[in-house]
Amino acid sequence: MKKIKVGIIICDRYKTCAGGKCFRAAANREGAFSIYKDMELEIAAFTTCGGCPGGNIEYAPEEMKKNGVTHVHFATGFIVGYPPCPYMEQFKKFIPEKYGMEVIIGTHPIPQKYYVTHARLNSWNNEFLSESVKPTLADESTRLRYD
């Protein structure tokens, strides 16, 4: 069975987050972690972006790569924070270019309470964001389990 090592980067607004939803989603292969259904998965790194405009994005992936990380996930908070992170698209281009690592937007399924608010606000109204939320858009019962 193929083993994948992932690193998670969270928005600095949530720097006190303990990562419980991300770790649960990884264990259950839910949300953006569903792409690893038939693989062994190890979360090998967990850090923040360093705050706007994401100073840690320039350096953290280097350490992650040295520890075997091949896939970097931007936590769901980047999508469901208000406003959604305005730098995600740049980050998603920078990390593969500089470090050759795959970037996935999202970790755990979007909690229902965030989904409802952002749907009303039409927050994900551009091509990048509408594509970025797809891996974390689960059915309502799953979203409710992550509230």
Q: What is the tens place of the pLDDT at every residue in 102-131?
A: 999 999 999 999 999 999 999 999 999 999
- 36-90 residue pLDDT tens: 999 999 999 999 999 999 999 999 999 999 999 999 999 999 999 999 999 999 9
Domain that holds residue 113: 3-145
Prediction pTM value: 0.95
Instruction: Check: CB of residue 79 under 8 Å from CB of residue 105.
Output: yes
Q: What is the CATH classification number for the domain harbouring 77?
A: 3.40.50
How many domains in the chain? 1
Owner of token pair 């740049």: 90
- Sign of the CA dihedral with 92 first, then 143, 137, and 41 last: positive
Would you give the end-to-end CA distance of the chain in angstroms? 32
Separation CA 127–CA 28 (nearest Å): 28
